[in-house]
Structure 1
Amino acid sequence: MKSFLYALVGLMLSSLAMSCTVVKQGEVGVKRTFGRYADRPYTEGLRAFNPFTSVIVKVPVQTENMEVSLNLPSKEGLNIRADISILYNLQPSKAPDILREIGRSYEANVILPVFRSTVADVTARYFAKDMHTGQRAIIEEAIKTQMGGLLKDRGIIIEAVLIKSIQLPANLARAIEEKLEAEQRALRMEFVLQEAQQEAQRRRIEAEGVRDAQNIISQGLDPNLLQFKSIEAFLELAKSPNTKVIITDGDMPMLMDLQDTNVRQSGIRD
């Protein structure tokens, strides 16, 4: 009976000595016992540990957004103020190594120094105006690729580098705006010239069509056809009940209405 009581008391004491924590989705837990990190991280779920000897350190592994503001050097030696977002995540299996080799301040100890070095190296290859135009996406991709190569082995994955805002020097910004305005005016003028050329082409095609139609008509009006049409006209005049005077040279008839002639003559006599 006494042994049973001793066992029960021991079980109760050991239960009191245990503690629990919940590892949530989007993070892993690494158990540290007497200052040493375990090799295998815990995934999400309820995890027990001895609070007198161990602790579970939680590390986020979902996408994190690191905001940085700094001056970017350009190829011509200017400093361009920019706000940049670094999207990254940690490989879950590498969480113990990250805690051992870098610590929990991996953003300040590794990511930020690598980013500053990389961004200075990449942007120095481009002119300041390139950071304000379509070259920005190329610059972002170059920074991401170079950072990813340096941090991948450490278990840090760079998902994207986004340049959110650029503050160019006032003189440079004004020069870029003037250049863009000049390009817009040139494009408008090119459009006007194209419109004028298209209109001239349309008129030329229309004139050629009229000319071709006239040539076809003139070629079709041969003497035989004109004589045939003249005979048709004589036949139609012969069917008319009114008195007509027809003056002709045998080819083309000229018609005179006697009634209208008489009326005009009567008016003269009056």
Structure 2
Amino acid sequence: MKNQQFGNWQSTVLGIVLATLVLLGLNSFIIINPGQAGVISILGGARDGALLEGIHAKPPFISVIDVYDLTVQKFEVPAESSTKDLQNLSARFAINFRLDPIKVVEVRRKQGTLANIVSKIIAPQTQEAFKIAAARRTVEEAITKRSELKEDFDEALGDRLDKYGIIVLDTSVVDLAFSPEFARAVEEKQIAEQRAQRAVYVAREAEQEAQADVNRAKGRAEAQRLLAETLKAQGGQLVLQKEAIEAWKSGGAQMPKVLVMGGDSKSGVPFIFNLGNVQNQP
């Protein structure tokens, strides 16, 4: 009976020892997956040196491992600022970033969780970087030269976040808005520019028409000069005949009612009269 009890006691002790060993084993190692970094804290103090991907030993029960995602993170952050001409300008930026694995221990000590990094570091630094970029240009320049605004913003934000162990990979302007007063001013300016362009077009059209009239007048004068020279060579008779023909055309050119009488070719003006008047005489 005593041997049986002793055997049960030994089995219990062995089971406890095995369970303790298993528990110690599970708490003595940590696996860090690719794209992650771990920070080990012993009795509340973070140790230097980040734990990168792989298996790492750790003191059981008295240590805690904080795992950080090193892959690309994306957050949209709003920002507002005044431009060089004191106009209100608001924007929303999409920021792609990741944590620097070399500085992840410093991030753990100063910022803590990823949520704290976004709310306490990225958001306020985005605001400050946008103020720097917006203050360098007017609101119209901020809109028309959007790429230059983004370049200044990226440079300012990258410099500010780098010291916090945050690497900015890319940013994009999701939205850029200005005050309603400026919107009305832009609309009025566009209308005025359209009217000015229309006025210039009308003036050019009138100028071209006037030039065309001048060219036509010059053409007619040249034609008349040539005609006068020709008629002068004919002794002047063709001048009178031409004038009679022109008068006939301007009068309606009713050929059946007109009789042209003339003697020889050297006589003067052809005689033109209405045959109806002759027929009505007694």
Bin of the TM-score, shorter chain as denominator length: 0.5 to 0.7
Report the counterpart of residue 200 of structure 1 in structure 2. 206
1:251 and 1:155 map into 2 onto residues whose CA distance is 114
* Cα separation, partners in 2 of 1:146 and 1:196, compared to 1, 3 Å: same
Aligned to 2:263: 247
Q: Equivalent residue for 1:94?
A: 102
Pick aligned residue for 1:110 from 98, 101, 121: 121
Partner of 2:255: none
Selected match of 1:150 from 160, 163, 166 = 160
What residue identity is the alignment partner of 1:148?
A: G
Rounded to whole Å, the distance in 1 between the matches of 2:221 and 2:41 is 105
Which amino acid in the other structure matches residue 41 of structure 1? Answer: L
Shift of 1:214: 1.0
1:179 corresponds, among 185, 193, 212, to: 185
Higher mean displacement: 107-116 or 197-206: 107-116
Query: Is 1:220 paired with 2:226?
Result: yes
Q: 1:107 deviation in Å?
A: 2.4
Q: Mark the CA change 1:249 to 1:50 in structure 2 (over 3 Å): closer, same or farther.
A: same
CA RMSD of aligned residues (A): 4.8
- Structure 1 residues 95, 28: CA separation in 2 closer, same or farther (over 3 Å shift)? farther
Contact 2:134/2:142 (8 A) holds in 1 = no
Query: Equivalents in 2 of 1:93, 1:140: separation in Å?
Result: 27
Q: Offset at 1:201? A: 1.0
Distance 1:113 1:268 in 2: 113
Question: Taking every aligned residue pair, what percent have the same amino acid on both sides?
Answer: 10
State the distance in 1 between where 2:140 and 2:204 align.
36
Going from structure 1 to structure 2, the CA distance change for 1:65 and 1:178 (only over 3 Å counts) comes to closer
Displacement of 1:114 in angstroms is 3.0
Give the drift of 1:59. 1.2
Residue 221 of structure 2 aligns to which amino acid in structure 1? N
Between 114-123 and 183-192, the greater mean CA deviation after superposition: 114-123
1:32–1:38 CA distance, 2 compared to 1 (3 A): same
- 1:221-248 deviation line (CA, Å, top 9, x unaligned): 2146863996xx9xxxxxxxxxx84335
Greater CA deviation, 221-230 or 144-153? 221-230
Question: What is the CA–CA distance in structure 2 between the aligned matches of 1:251 and 1:157, rounded to whole Å?
Answer: 108
> Which digits, 9 at most, give the CA deviation of each residue in 1:50-108, with x for residues without a partner?
68467471314214114346x64566888x58453350312554363454553333223
Distance in 2 between residues matched to 1:199 and 1:77, nearest whole Å: 42
Contact 1:31–1:57 (CA under 8 A) maintained in structure 2: yes
TM-score by length of 1: 0.59
Deviations 1:201-233 (A, max 9, x none): 122121112112112212322146863996xx9
Offset from partner CA, 1:122-155 (integer Å, 9 cap, x none): 556667x569844666555433321211222444
Change in Cα spacing, 1:255 to 1:101, as seen in structure 2 (3 Å) is farther
SS of 1:247's equivalent in the other structure is coil
Gaps of 5+ in 2: 1-17, 242-259
Runs of 5+ unmatched residues, structure 1 = 1-8, 234-243
User: In the TM superposition, what is the alpha-carbon distance from 1:253 to its structure 2 partner?
Assistant: 6.8
**One-letter code of the match for 1:30?**
G
Q: Contact 1:86/1:160 (CA < 8 Å) preserved in 2?
A: yes
Give the TM-score, by structure 2 length: 0.57
The alpha-carbon deviation at position 41 of structure 1 amounts to 2.5
Instruction: State how 1:102-141 maps to structure 2 within 5 Å.
Output: 102=110, 103-104=112-113, 105-120=116-131, 123=134, 133-134=143-144, 138-141=148-151
1:17 match: secondary structure = helix
Q: 1:191 to 1:125 in 2, by over 3 A?
A: closer
1:65 equivalent in structure 2: 75
CA drift at 1:197: 0.7
Q: Per the alignment, in what secondary structure is the counterpart of residue 67 of structure 2?
A: strand
CA contact (8 A) 1:118 1:146 kept: yes
Indicate conservation of the 8 Å contact 2:37/2:51, yes or no: no
